[in-house]
Structure 1
Amino acid sequence: MSHRRRLTRLALTAVLAATAFLPLQAPASAQTAFPSVNGNWGAPGPYATAVEIGAVNTLYYPRDIASSSRRHPVIVWGNGTGGAPLVYRDLMLHWASHGFIVSAANTPMSNLGISMRLGIDELAARDDDPSSAFHDRVDLANIGASGHSQGGAAAIVVGADPRVDVILPIQPGPLADIDDVHVPAFLMAGQYDDIVHPFLVKAFYYDATHIPAIYGELRKADHFTIVGDPGPFAAPTTAWFRLHLMDDAQAAPVFHGPGCGICTDTATWSDVRRNSLVP
């Protein structure tokens, strides 16, 4: 072997030996944890927000999403009968301030969930489009479905979509089949709701023996408490989605364990039930 080749091999060996002990670098696309809110689920989150009104869906999302260093989970929303996203604007912006992209169906008749599914399709296309502010910023592996009244039933319908990871039906109407859902469900009712009576929501809960299911009945809430200022709906819904779509460990005690937050907060909740599949 020539002297030059021997020196080259020795140099290469030295480089390989040195780099073997260097720390591994995380890939540029790796997710970092979302900012903690220290359990203040009902307070505005750390993100400034923006709104985009489209033909099929209205988007509520973090304003700096184009320059964000992470992908953001998705919530698709269905309105109550005759409603529009504007009716629920405060709740949608609250979720967006916590880092979620909310796609709210513009339809006043959401029960079939068609526009909600189209919202997922649209965000998937934007995530794939290099010219979009949402390019590589949509976390399509973490999608939740929610809605109020007829839209609550739509959240159950959309919960059968394999792309959806968790559902949050709020005072859901009866036209849905929870047997088709295969993801965790938090079914919310209002103690004084005389349109979607609590027993109707409980019927979904009792039928959901195949999935982790929670029934939560907000004390003194009627069917329209959520309209405008979401009041008591803001904190538990945010905690639910942060737990399941952001892996926020601080939210787990709100729902899990023998002394879970909603189980012991009798000032806020008039009835809470959890089936045996809930941790």
Structure 2
Amino acid sequence: MALLKPVLVAAATVLVAVTAAVVVPASPEGDAAAPPAPPASAVFHPVVREAAARTGDYAAEYTVYRPADSDRVRGGLPVVVFGNGACRHTSNDELLTLETLLAAHGFVVVAIGGFDEPALTENGSPEPAVITDAITWAERENGRRGSALRNKLDTRRIGVAGHSCGGIEALVAGADPRVKSVLSLDSGFFADGTLGYGRENLRKLHTPTLFADGGPNDVAYANSGENYDLVTVPAVRVTNPAAGHTGFVYGQRDGNPDPGVREEAARVLVAWFDFTLNGNRAARGYFLGAGCGLCVTPGWTVTAKNF
């Protein structure tokens, strides 16, 4: 399941479109049966990065990554809200590449942090409202006159994700009934409730949840595994010990620059939300079943339960 080579966005810039040709076999019944949607990994849209319209009093400012050619997309686009490591609520440079790639594969990403804020070494505390307010923002934009996203979102398909401290925010926000999928990246609740949220919150999850971590050198490794063991929802845990705590985000393998690690992490993100928000069977096979796609990718281990 190869991702196409990404082109990074600059501020409020539309990229040159790159699309993958998808060949659908002819239906024996002619046009009566609609062809299945291609997997998200086979699609690559130009992406716009822009400031979220300030249409309400929210817990944070947001930056939006969206397909520039959304008029050509059949049906509404799923939404993924992304929280930053260190619970950075002002800047949002950390996950720029992953968020751009996710949007390029057909998702609208609402990132915590202001569009034109400089890169900051900010360290905050978990505020799950920054995630749930972003969902409310998306719902309002979908119906607001003048919105570039008006009637283009499918607010029945909303995922939440976060890295490190932002993963705790996403896990808490996963209790929201509007959420249909959760992704915890190098994160998890501490046994003693450090940062203000304990593992009792895992009982509030009601949707499929993915825990991704960078192995024993990842400071979140123990929490990731122990949280996975405790959840009762359908769950997957994926581990790549070469990544450590930030390799998925910054493209590092065993502490050395290697963008391939980040590309592999992007495949995981795209496939997870394609599976859990879009119901794509090919994406499901990336995580589940004998010889699953990620299972046979060198360096990765995969476990799953409750499916």
Q: TM-score range by the shorter chain?
A: 0.7 to 0.9
CA RMSD of aligned residues (A): 2.6
Counterparts in 2 of 1:102 and 1:183: CA distance versus 1, 3 Å:
same
Partner of 1:147: 162
TM superposition shift of 1:173: 4.2
Q: Once the 2 structures are TM-superposed, how far is the Cα of residue 63 of structure 1 from its aligned partner?
A: 0.9
List alignment gaps of at least 5 residues for structure 2.
1-31, 53-59, 115-121, 190-196, 252-261
Number of aligned residue pairs: give it. 242
Alignment of 1:174-193 (within 5 A): 174=189, 175-176=197-198, 177-193=201-217
Aligned to 2:49: 51
Q: Max radius of gyration: which structure?
A: 1
Assess, with a 3 A threshold, how the Cα gap between structure 1 residues 125 and 252 changes in structure 2: closer, same or farther.
same
Q: Retained in 1: the 8 A contact 2:48–2:65?
A: yes
Partner Cα distance (1:71, 1:264) in 2 = 33
Residues 46-125 of structure 1 mapped to structure 2, 5 A cutoff: 46-54=44-52, 56-65=61-70, 68-81=73-86, 83=88, 84-106=91-113, 109=124, 111-125=126-140
244, 250, 263: which one pairs with 1:222? 244
How far is 1:100 from its partner?
Answer: 0.3
Tell me the TM-score normalised to structure 1 length: 0.78
Residues 22-64 of structure 1: per-residue CA shift (max 9 Å, x gap): xxx99xxxx9864445x56xxxx42100011246111111012
Matched residue, 1:274: 304
Partner of 1:22: none
Q: Distance in 2 between matches of 1:131 and 1:143?
A: 22
What is the TM-score of this pair, normalised by structure 2?
Answer: 0.72
Instruction: Indicate the residue corresponding to 2:149 in structure 1.
Output: 134
Matched residues in 2 for 1:52 and 1:202: separation?
36
CA contact (8 A) 2:39 2:283 kept: no
Deviation (angstroms), 1:67: 5.9
- Which structure: greater helix fraction? 1
The 8 Å contact of residues 127 and 135 in structure 1, kept in 2 or not, is answered as: yes
* Identity level (%): 28
| Shift, 1:246, TM fit | 1.7
